[in-house]
């Protein structure tokens, strides 16, 4: 490995693993080769701690990078035209074998003006000063050094204009002090340190952090009192409803609490500090601005505030600090943790900046630049892991998801963009389904959940866990089922009762607790009962299955009548015979069918396929597609209905 690359990985991993230095994986690093012909730099969208010898960096020709800064024709372009052109030119300056399409840091031309090793971070203790109106004066006193003082960089739009500004300021600094600056404080932004060696750069970082930390003193930390789970659930659903009403978008809502969050929420002027404005580009990009202060959860009022934001051209807030409870974040779990870090850092910065002359925030023009900057859109998209489909960001629960049709349905719903709770009494099988989904859709949000659908306490606990993990509920698919096949005179009563418990009681309990959440949430939803063609036309020697599958259709119709006023749709899907991956179509069941029709076991599946009008075998994906349709907005006016997906065997009249 090239020495400069090894040094880059070392300082990146060291800085990126320290949670006091980075929030949400932000920051940049670079190391120039000793001959100063090349520069290894972090790739955009990569967390510092995740960089290794194979990914997370680009090698660039320094002469090509430096030449970009001096091109005055670029400075005259409109930002919307200039910044994409800069991105292209930085890519052209890359000279490596990287094939994953990653971009070099957008600040590469800035790094080119500095010493050999560069570390750029956004530590909260530095943010407190660079976002305070008296911050510069305090830093000047704190780092007073007549031979080599820190360089203060007034706020400039990030990207090309910031790189040009720093190149000019560094040149002026060198002329005055005969050396490059070692420490740069960027107003409303963060910290740069630069040194000839990697150890020197890391040492400088910790010197700055230690000095700023001591000047600020210890922050107040409150003991966290366990929040009432019912209050948390109520607030979560309130925020989710408000966000949906204002934006029309489905999204999980995750809850966070910590001593730092509790301390800020307890401050008398917490609401005023949050209303001061946007602190940094990171707060704007990841959280769409400061957290909203919520005295009391009222979905109509929260939705109204979000609409006002959007009417001004802003993106709707994604973080909500609810008095007495904690922080609620509207985002997928992966990005929600990043937003939590950024917002919690903002709380720290606001607290201290308010005591240093007041909070210094981005102007409206500065915010507009960030919102329209293609680079930040790219960075946010990488962090989120975008996905599309008819059920994008809806939260679904599928029972029996560890095998057979339940597994196929769960996979199909995940392909359609939903976050899926995989419910099964066999947790190992559910975990296997989760692995299958993530292999097909890296980054998919899935949760394997153990649940006995016939036990009310187990069902109630499962839904509480799903809300905590996935942040809401939009869809329930009842797919867990059993099919004890006996002639009437041979049917054991315990097999009859078992079928009633799983196929009817299980459907009832799951629907009961799903409906409670959906009603409280107030944004509609969809419940699907997976029945069977045997629920419409009975099959021989199948008394428990015939009865329960017919019952599932009828209870779905009743639920459709009950829940329609809440916008909750309830439908049934009746599959034909689906053989792949089925626990029902096991060797014993096939032998029973063979005996029933007087054929050989190996002739059973072709026999059933030939009973259909299409003469085609039904696959699990066919059933999943039917369910995706019924849960999507394309079926928004369909409820109380039965969709038969059986290749034309049973004709509904």
Distance (Å, rounded) from C-alpha 377 to C-alpha 228?
37
Residue 102 tokens read as: 């990653």
The full length of the chain comes to 653
Distance (Å, rounded) from C-alpha 411 to C-alpha 553?
24
Neighbours of 92 (CB within 10 A): 12
Distance (Å, rounded) from C-alpha 283 to C-alpha 346?
8
In sequence order, which residues have a C-beta less than 8 Å from that of residue 198 and are 6 or more positions away? 7, 10, 11, 31, 117
Neighbours of 223 (CB within 10 A): 7
Q: What string of DSSP letters covers 516-578?
A: HHHHHHTS-EEEEEE--GGGTS--TTBHHHHHHHHHHHHHHHHHHHHHGGGTEEEEEEEE--B
Q: Are residues 153 and 139 in contact, defined by beta-carbon separation less than 8 angstroms?
A: no
Which residue intervals of 403-448 are DSSP H helices?
404-415, 427-440
Q: Are residues 74 and 82 in contact, defined by beta-carbon separation less than 8 angstroms?
A: yes
Give yes or no: 545 in active site: yes
Sign of CA dihedral 599, 605, 606, 610: positive
Catalytic residue from among 545, 589, 607, 608: 545
DSSP designation for 326: E
Among 267, 288, 268, 269, which residue's Cα sits nearest to residue 279?
288
> Which residues are designated catalytic?
545
């Amino acid at each position: 490995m090239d020495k400069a690359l090894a040094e880059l990985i070392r300082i990146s991993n060291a800085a990126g693993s320290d949670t006091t230095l980075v929030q949400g994986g932000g920051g940049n690093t670079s190391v120039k080769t000793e001959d100063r012909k090349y520069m290894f730099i972090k790739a955009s969208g990569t967390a510092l701690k995740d960089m290794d010898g194979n990914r997370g960096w680009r090698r660039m020709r320094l002469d090509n990078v430096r030449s970009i800064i001096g091109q005055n024709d670029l400075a005259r372009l409109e930002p919307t035209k200039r910044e994409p052109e800069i991105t292209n030119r930085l890519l052209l300056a890359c000279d490596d074998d990287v094939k994953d399409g990653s971009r070099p840091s957008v600040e590469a031309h800035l790094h080119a003006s500095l010493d050999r090793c560069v570390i750029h971070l956004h530590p909260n203790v530095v943010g407190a000063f660079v976002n305070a109106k008296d911050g510069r004066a305090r830093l000047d006193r704190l780092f007073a050094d007549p031979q080599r003082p820190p360089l203060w960089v007034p706020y400039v739009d990030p990207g090309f204009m910031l790189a040009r500004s720093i190149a000019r300021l560094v040149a002026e600094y060198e002329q005055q002090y005969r050396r490059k600056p070692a420490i740069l404080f960027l107003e409303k932004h963060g910290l740069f340190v630069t040194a000839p060696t990697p150890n020197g750069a890391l040492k400088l970082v910790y010197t700055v952090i230690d000095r700023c930390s001591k000047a600020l003193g210890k922050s107040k930390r409150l003991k966290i009192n366990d929040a009432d789970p019912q209050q948390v659930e109520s607030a979560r659903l309130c925020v989710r409803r408000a966000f949906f009403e204002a934006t029309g978008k489905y999204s999980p809502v995750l809850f966070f609490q910590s001593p730092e969050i509790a301390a800020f929420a307890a401050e008398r002027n917490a609401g005023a500090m949050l209303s001061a404005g946007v602190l940094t580009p990171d707060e704007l990009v990841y959280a769409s601005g400061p957290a909203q202060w919520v005295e009391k959860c009222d979905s109509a009022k929260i939705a109204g505030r979000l609409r006002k934001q959007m009417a001004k051209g802003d993106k709707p807030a994604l973080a909500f600090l609810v008095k007495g409870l904690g922080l609620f974040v509207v985002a997928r779990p992966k990005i929600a943790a990043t937003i939590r870090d950024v917002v919690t850092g903002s709380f720290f910065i606001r607290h201290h900046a308010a005591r240093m002359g007041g909070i210094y925030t981005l102007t409206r023009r500065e915010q507009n630049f960030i919102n329209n900057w293609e680079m930040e859109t790219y960075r946010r998209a990488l962090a989120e892991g975008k996905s599309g489909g008819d059920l994008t960001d809806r939260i679904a629960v599928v029972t029996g998801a560890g095998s057979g049709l339940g597994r196929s349905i769960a996979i199909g719903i995940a392909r359609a963009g939903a976050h899926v709770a995989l419910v099964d009494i066999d947790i190992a099988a559910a975990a296997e389904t989760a692995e299958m989904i993530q292999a097909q859709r890296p980054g998919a949000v899935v949760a394997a959940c153990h649940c006995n659908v016939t036990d009310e306490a187990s069902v109630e606990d499962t839904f509480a866990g799903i809300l905590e993990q996935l942040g809401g509920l939009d869809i329930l698919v009842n797919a867990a089922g059993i099919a004890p096949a006996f002639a009437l005179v041979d049917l054991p009563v315990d097999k009859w009762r078992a079928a009633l418990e799983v196929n009817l009681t299980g459907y009832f309990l799951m629907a009961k607790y799903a409906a409670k959440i959906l009603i409280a949430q107030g944004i509609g939803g969809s419940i699907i009962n997976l029945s069977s063609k045997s629920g419409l036309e009975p099959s021989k020697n199948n008394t428990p299955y015939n009865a329960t599958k017919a019952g599932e259709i009828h209870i779905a119709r009743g639920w459709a009548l009950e829940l329609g006023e809440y916008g909750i749709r309830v439908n049934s899907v009746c599959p034909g015979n689906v053989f792949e991956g089925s626990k029902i179509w096991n060797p014993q069941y096939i032998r029973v069918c063979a005996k029933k029709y007087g054929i050989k076991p190996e002739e059973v599946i072709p026999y059933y396929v030939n009973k259909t009008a299409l003469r085609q075998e039904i696959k699990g994906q066919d059933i999943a597609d039917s369910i995706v349709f019924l849960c999507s907005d394309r079926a928004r006016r369909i409820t109380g209905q039965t969709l038969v997906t059986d290749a034309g065997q049973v004709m509904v009249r």
